[in-house]
Amino acid sequence: MSKERKIEVKPVVNESGIEIQPLYTAADVEATGGWDMIGEPGDYPFTRGIHKLMYREKPWTMRQYAGFGNPIDTNKRFHYLIANGQTGLNVAFDLPTQIGLDSDDPMAEGEVGRVGMAIDSLRDFEVAFEGIDLDKITVSLTVNGSAAILIAMYLAMAEKRGYDVRRLRGTCQNDILKEFIGRGTWIFPVEPSVRLVGDTIEYCAKEAPKYTPVSVCGYHIRESGANPAQEIAYAFCIAKAYADEVLKRGLDIDEFAGRLSYNFNIFGSIWEQVAKFRAARGLWAKIMKDDYGTKDPRSQWMRMIAGGGGGGLTYEQPEVNIVRGAYYALISALAGTQTMALCSYDEAYTIPTEYSARISLRTMQLLIEEMGLTDTVDPLGGSWYVETLTNQMRSKMVEIMSEVDAQGGIVRLVSEGIVQAKVSAQAYRMQQDIESGSFRKVGVNCYRMEEDEKKVEFHPYKDEDAEIQIDSLNAVRASRDQAKVETALARVAADAAAGVNVMPALVEAVKAYCTVGEITKRLVAVYGRYREPVRF
């Protein structure tokens, strides 16, 4: 009599810590929470999508990240992308702009225009967006520490060009808490930084109600070492902190919650990423309805941009990143994003070329035109595996958010460097796993090329770009009304010291062609500068 052979199955655990079973049935869905949080597309809790027809009605916005050198060069790239079918702009700024330095500041030397467009005054915005119809092409400003100043510049530029600011659409990243966790382009201490975010939300709710002043970025938290469940949970804790700041000012939740948005990461397991976003949509809707008492369904929408995942790209065998990018776009579409900003294959080591940016753009267009990704809503809905994983991911997110609340809230944990230390330790462990080969990375620790790697092309840094920018800055300073400049800067400092909303003063200042560096110095004189806590 033959004995039945016992098959040993190696455990598989995803990055969020959930063990993946070899087979799923309807019983697994029931055991993890059932079907109650699925619903229908366009209806609460929006797990299957925030619109009834989703991409059958309108495909996702394609918004490639772009910006380098000076506004003249960046304007040319914007027009190139739009001519090739891009439907939104996602603006990169250089490091001096991000941390509130003018291009002629000694600390800016060597960095002007290096990793993004240099912006010093309203004049630069006027040049960068020349010839671009802001009613047809929405613009996302990827900036944080100096975000309030650049929002003021964008609104002032649009108003000067004759647009109705109350109807103007667009987005600013403006998520300073994630900067303390993940990127480091902060300027002011945590508390006044959060207050500035609140100022922008309050101001836009009253003056530019269709503009999105904050895009909460789980993306960079994930890039810094957080797992997918933490990415969402920390982002939601941050969004709640901003909402709480604005509610203290007397606004109703439905006056501004519908204009909050999210920027999320995409690299990793297809199934974990799709489940992450489906779970997050339902959880955010529940938080907004149960915890904040929203009445407007749009206040319960988790609107997001997704498609980037720079942490998943590799310097080694960079052409393989084209394939990775295609899967990122697939995940983003299957997960129900509103906007894609797909990483280009050379983004792991340089500013993307026109050629690589076009490949990413064509990848997104290919999904729409050839692959059937816009044919039906939530095509993975109803899969026993996906629904089980969605339930499990939601439970993980709730658990992490509860831990944050129990420890005093996200603002306290960021102020004391606790979250930073946690995700940094995780990033270190992940790097160890990559180097040991226990976490498989194609082209890095497996399927490597023994011969010399292909030489890669780096975006050139040109000193003359910085010289052009500084000459332009000096011309602005020479032509403006200095009395108006001094009056406007004095008001910025006075309003900051008085604790009132500084956005009206910032709008007045940028209209007087005060510079980013001049305004920042006045705010630093009131708020001080952030000193990063170091934990071991």
DSSP track, 87-123? -EEEEEB-HHHHTT--TTSGGGTTTTTSSSB---SHH
Cβ count within 10 A of residue 257: 24
Q: Which residues of 115-128 are buried (b: 16+ CB within 10 A; e: fewer)?
A: bbbbbbbbbbbebb
Q: H/E element holding 212?
A: strand 211-212
Q: Which residues make Cβ contacts (< 8 Å) with residue 253, sequence separation at least 6? A: 243, 247, 288, 292, 293, 294, 299
Comparing CA positions, the residue from 268, 264, 536 lying closest to residue 422 is: 536
pLDDT at 462: 79
536 residues of the chain, pLDDT tens digit each: 455 666 677 899 999 999 999 999 999 999 999 999 999 999 999 999 999 999 999 999 999 888 888 999 999 999 999 999 999 999 999 999 999 999 999 999 999 999 999 999 999 999 999 999 999 999 999 999 999 999 999 999 999 999 999 999 999 999 999 999 988 899 999 999 999 999 999 999 999 999 999 999 999 999 999 999 999 999 999 999 999 999 999 999 999 999 999 999 999 999 999 999 999 999 999 999 999 999 999 999 999 999 888 889 999 999 999 999 999 999 999 999 999 999 899 988 888 889 999 999 999 999 999 999 999 999 999 999 999 999 999 999 999 999 999 999 999 999 999 999 999 999 999 999 999 999 999 999 999 987 655 667 777 777 888 999 999 999 999 999 999 999 999 999 999 999 999 999 999 999 999 999 999 999 999 999 998 877 65
Q: 360 is in which domain, residue-wise?
A: 19-405
Residue 264's domain is classified under what CATH number?
3.20.20.240
Q: Would residue 524 count as lying in a domain?
A: no
Q: Would residue 3 count as lying in a domain?
A: no
Number of domains in the chain: 1
Report how far apart the first and last C-alpha atoms of the chain are (Å, whole number).
Answer: 61
Q: Would you tell me the crossing angle of helices 71-83 and 354-369 to the nearest 10 degrees? A: 30
Q: Would residue 468 count as lying in a domain?
A: no
Cβ count within 10 A of residue 30: 14
pLDDT at 535: 62
Q: Would residue 458 count as lying in a domain?
A: no
**Pairs from 50-58 (Cβ < 8 Å, separation ≥ 24):** 50/281, 50/301, 50/302, 50/303, 50/336, 50/338, 52/377, 53/377, 54/336, 54/374, 54/377, 54/378, 55/333, 55/368, 55/373, 55/374, 55/377, 56/374, 56/375, 56/376, 56/377
Q: Are 339 and 24 in contact (CB under 8 A)?
A: no
- Strand partners of residue 521: none
Q: Are 264 and 305 in contact (CB under 8 A)?
A: yes
pLDDT at 65: 85
Q: Would residue 424 count as lying in a domain?
A: no
Q: Please give the Cα distance from 516 to 97 (Å, whole number).
A: 7
For the record, the structure tokens of 164 come out as: 């109705």
Q: Give residue for tokens 């292909």.
A: 454
Q: Would residue 474 count as lying in a domain?
A: no
Q: Please give the Cα distance from 405 to 505 (Å, whole number).
A: 35
Q: Please give the Cα distance from 344 to 77 (Å, whole number).
A: 15
Q: Please give the Cα distance from 423 to 227 (Å, whole number).
A: 8
Q: Is 362 exposed, middle or buried (0-12, 13-18, 19+ CB in 10 A)?
A: middle
Q: Which residues make Cβ contacts (< 8 Å) with residue 504, sequence separation at least 6? A: 203, 495
Where do the DSSP E strands lie in 357-418?
Answer: none
Q: Would residue 117 count as lying in a domain?
A: yes
Q: Would residue 484 count as lying in a domain?
A: no
